[in-house]
């Protein structure tokens, strides 16, 4: 039987490959001189404005990308996702994070059952909450919490409470997460889809011990609750299943912020009305993604451009650069969302890919990043950048005597950086500025470096939800085009099983004085060195 076709074997893919040559001959300086092109390369939804004119792309590129979307059956794949088909075929699961924020009267079926009525949330006011979880059970809620913390409306609702996260199994993270907290006023929320993740379970046992040693064993039922799909293991752990919030296997870990994984800790901190606005924002983009034509569909355009950058122009990375400190945890969340989803080596049918998928995502808020890694972005490697800005700051400040407000100062950089990358600076310009000859090569900027700008009207719970949803769908679009399964993560398993072998041997050595064996010379000698020091 012939193997299923890869997207790279289609005419549409080949047409884009052939088109690369023409694009390589262009410079963004010239492309940007075309006002009609600049105007055309924009899209807007509810005040969110996307400008992708600084991508190394023309109208022809976009047409070809839209044809590729057709060849990849993007529309059908999006519909299948929204309909609850089991598109995560390696785990035989639906992918229905959109149901978590769908309007109450929506109908979304999984296994023939409408899941929307099952989705619910609650919020109890408690002073301190420590949310224990890792990966998708941590990064999304942390991003949203960090972004809400400085929103005046959300901050007002959270007065007198604090929400902390414990993710790393490093004892330093445990110490940090409970520093100055009193178990008596603390609720521990154990968040784990599987309730088997080694780090989370050890951290949960550690905090259980912290509660029991201070308040006695009966306190566990009052001070520990759980969010999981595995209520059997929750019960075995000692948490009353009545204190557990279930979710469903059709919610992928990294797509679970809108389930109880995020909604519970965030509601405990901010109250459900704020969280509801966040969910409504995400849902508004779901609708836009599902029903807008691809030419003006923000997540689709972003996804197609990322495919163009990675697979045709050969740029392996993407920088996420929010000019908003409130979004400081956005890039770490997108890093997991994107790299765990799209870092795959085979197609959804298990055929070895002959092209790379996914990109190396990283980022920092501007302007901090400018003083860190932007040097490389300007004069070193070419890294497509996402600039994310906000029109109205969460926290306006205008110091007397200053020429611009603090927010204008921040945003001056947001507007300047994309042009610096696109236009660069030529030796001729430097000569006219009388720059000494020996410095001309050092001060030259080639330019022609792609970026896109996403301008949000403001950054309340609603827009935070919209931003999340834009990126979730963008990443799915990329996976749909590449023909991979963006919803499994088998690549994380090998490391976990090797760690369990090491764990067993560490135990044997520490407890029974057994020699460490079965490892290669390098690991053996590293372990021997490690074992010379007894744990304190």
Q: Residue 233 or 435: which CB sits closer to ligand F6P?
A: 233
- Where do the DSSP E strands lie in 328-414? 360-363, 385-390
Tokens representing residue 279 in the block:
């969910």
Q: Residue 340 or 359: which CB sits closer to ligand F6P?
A: 340
In the stretch 436-475, what mask flags binding to ligand F6P with x, by CB under 6 A?
----------------------------------------
Q: Residue 167 or 301: which CB sits closer to ligand F6P?
A: 167
Between CA 420 and CA 282 the distance in angstroms is 32
Q: Which of 83, 124, 222, 496 is an active site residue?
A: 496
- Least separation, in Å, of the C-beta of 475 and ligand F6P? 14
Q: Which one among 123, 135, 299, 366 touches ligand F6P, defined by CB under 6 A?
A: 135
Q: What angle do CA 227, 232, 235 make, to 5 degrees?
A: 75
- CA distances from residue 127 to 162, 216, 223, 262 in whole angstroms, order as listed: 6, 20, 12, 18
Give the residue from 249, 121, 248, 251 showing the smallest Cα distance to 189: 121
Active site residue 223: no
Residue 321 makes CB contacts below 8 A (sequence gap 6+) with: 331, 363, 364, 365, 366, 369, 385, 386, 387, 388, 417
Q: Which one among 61, 88, 131, 192 touches ligand F6P, defined by CB under 6 A?
A: 192
In the stretch 136-155, what mask flags binding to ligand F6P with x, by CB under 6 A?
xx------------------
Q: What is the dihedral of CA 124, 127, 128, 134, to 10 degrees?
A: 30
- Least separation, in Å, of the C-beta of 472 and ligand F6P? 14
In the stretch 485-524, what mask flags binding to ligand F6P with x, by CB under 6 A?
----x--x--------------------------------
Whether 265 contacts 145, CB under 8 Å = yes
- Least separation, in Å, of the C-beta of 340 and ligand F6P? 6
Active site residue 371: yes
Q: How many residues bind ligand F6P (CB under 6 A)?
A: 15
Piece of 54-62, 131-139, 146-154, 288-296 that binds ligand F6P (CB under 6 A): 131-139
Between CA 200 and CA 135 the distance in angstroms is 10
Between CA 167 and CA 200 the distance in angstroms is 7
Residue with tokens 């809400």, as numbered in its chain: 148
Between CA 511 and CA 505 the distance in angstroms is 10
- Least separation, in Å, of the C-beta of 194 and ligand F6P? 3
Three-state DSSP at 15 gives helix
Q: Which of residues 281-340 bind ligand F6P (CB under 6 A)?
A: 340
Q: Residue 254 or 318: which CB sits closer to ligand F6P?
A: 254
Rg over alpha carbons for the chain, rounded to the nearest Å, is 25
Q: Which of 19, 199, 277, 340 is an active site residue?
A: 340
- Least separation, in Å, of the C-beta of 238 and ligand F6P? 17
Q: Which one among 134, 385, 422, 467 touches ligand F6P, defined by CB under 6 A?
A: 134
Q: Contact between 358 and ligand F6P (CB under 6 A)?
A: no
Q: Residue 128 or 137: which CB sits closer to ligand F6P?
A: 137
Give the residue from 392, 323, 318 showing the smallest Cα distance to 364: 323
Piece of 90-98, 132-140, 149-157, 461-469 that binds ligand F6P (CB under 6 A): 132-140
Q: Residue 439 or 492: which CB sits closer to ligand F6P?
A: 492
Q: What angle do CA 125, 102, 190 make, to 5 degrees?
A: 40
- Least separation, in Å, of the C-beta of 409 and ligand F6P? 37
Between CA 276 and CA 465 the distance in angstroms is 10
Q: Which of residues 193-252 bind ligand F6P (CB under 6 A)?
A: 193-194, 197, 200
DSSP for 21-84, written as a single string: HHHHT--HHHHTT-HHHHHHSEEEETTEEEE-TTSS--HHHHHHHHHHHHHTTHHHHHHHHHHT
Give the residue from 511, 507, 369, 461 showing the smallest Cα distance to 144: 461
Q: Contact between 341 and ligand F6P (CB under 6 A)?
A: no
The residues that bridge with 452 in the sheet, in sequence order, are 386
- Least separation, in Å, of the C-beta of 460 and ligand F6P? 27
- Least separation, in Å, of the C-beta of 234 and ligand F6P? 12
- Least separation, in Å, of the C-beta of 247 and ligand F6P? 10
Q: Which one among 253, 389, 424, 447 touches ligand F6P, defined by CB under 6 A?
A: 253
Task: Give phi and psi for 116, each to the nearest 5.
Answer: -60, -45
Q: Residue 64 or 145: which CB sits closer to ligand F6P?
A: 145
Q: Contact between 363 and ligand F6P (CB under 6 A)?
A: no
Task: Give the binding site for ligand F6P (CB under 6 A).
Answer: 133-137, 192-194, 197, 200, 253-254, 340, 489, 492
User: Where in the sequence numbering do the catalytic residues fall?
Assistant: 340, 371, 496
């Amino acid at each position: 039987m012939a193997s299923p076709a890869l997207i790279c074997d289609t005419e549409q893919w080949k047409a884009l490959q052939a088109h690369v040559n023409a694009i390589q001959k262009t410079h963004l300086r010239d492309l940007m001189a075309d006002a009609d092109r600049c105007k055309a390369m924009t899209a807007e939804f509810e005040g969110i404005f996307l400008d992708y004119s600084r991508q190394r792309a023309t109208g022809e590129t976009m047409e070809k990308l839209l044809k590729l979307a057709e060849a990849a059956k993007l529309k059908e794949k999006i519909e299948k996702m929204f309909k609850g088909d089991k598109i995560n075929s390696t785990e035989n699961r639906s992918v229905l994070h959109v149901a978590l924020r769908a309007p109450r009267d929506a109908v979304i079926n999984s296994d023939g059952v409408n899941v929307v009525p099952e989705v619910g949330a609650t919020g109890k006011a408690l002073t301190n909450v420590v949310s224990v979880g890792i990966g998708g059970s941590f990064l999304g809620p942390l991003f949203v919490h960090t972004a809400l913390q400085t929103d005046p409306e959300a901050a007002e609702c959270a007065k007198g409470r604090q929400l902390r996260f414990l993710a790393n199994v490093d004892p330093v993270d445990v110490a940090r997460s409970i520093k100055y907290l009193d178990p008596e006023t603390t609720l521990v929320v154990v968040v784990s889809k599987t309730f088997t993740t080694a780090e989370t379970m050890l951290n949960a046992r550690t905090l259980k011990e912290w509660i029991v040693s201070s308040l006695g064993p009966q306190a566990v039922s009052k001070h520990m609750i759980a969010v999981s799909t595995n209520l059997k293991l929750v019960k075995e752990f000692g948490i009353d299943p009545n204190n557990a919030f279930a979710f469903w296997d059709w919610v992928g870990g990294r797509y679970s912020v809108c389930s109880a994984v995020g909604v519970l800790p965030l509601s405990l901190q901010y109250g459900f009305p704020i969280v509801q606005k966040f969910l409504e924002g995400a849902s508004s983009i779901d609708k836009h993604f599902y029903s807008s034509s691809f030419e003006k569909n923000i997540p689709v355009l972003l996804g197609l451009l990322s495919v163009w950058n990675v697979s045709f122009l050969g740029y392996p990375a993407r920088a996420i650069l929010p000019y908003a400190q409130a979004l400081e945890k956005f890039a770490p969340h997108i890093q997991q969302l994107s790299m765990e989803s799209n870092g795959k080596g085979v197609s959804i049918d298990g055929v070895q890919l002959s092209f790379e998928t996914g990109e190396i995502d990283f980022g920092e808020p501007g302007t901090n990043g400018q003083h860190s890694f932007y040097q490389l972005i300007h004069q070193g490697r070419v890294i497509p950048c996402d600039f994310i800005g906000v029109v109205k700051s969460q926290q306006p400040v205008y110091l007397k005597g200053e020429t611009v407000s603090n927010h204008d100062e921040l945003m001056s950089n947001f507007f300047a950086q994309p042009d610096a990358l696109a236009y660069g600076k030529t030796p001729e310009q430097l000569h006219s500025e009388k720059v000494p000859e020996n410095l001309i090569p050092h001060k030259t900027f080639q330019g022609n470096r792609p970026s896109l700008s996403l301008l949000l009207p403001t950054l309340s719970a609603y827009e935070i939800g919209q931003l999340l949803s834009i990126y979730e769908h963008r990443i799915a679009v990329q996976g749909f085009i590449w023909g991979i399964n963006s919803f499994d993560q088998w690549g994380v398993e090998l490391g976990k099983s090797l760690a369990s072998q090491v764990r067993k041997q560490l135990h044997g050595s520490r407890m029974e004085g057994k020699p460490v064996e079965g490892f290669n010379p390098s690991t053996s000698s590293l372990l021997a060195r490690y074992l010379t020091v007894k744990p304190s």
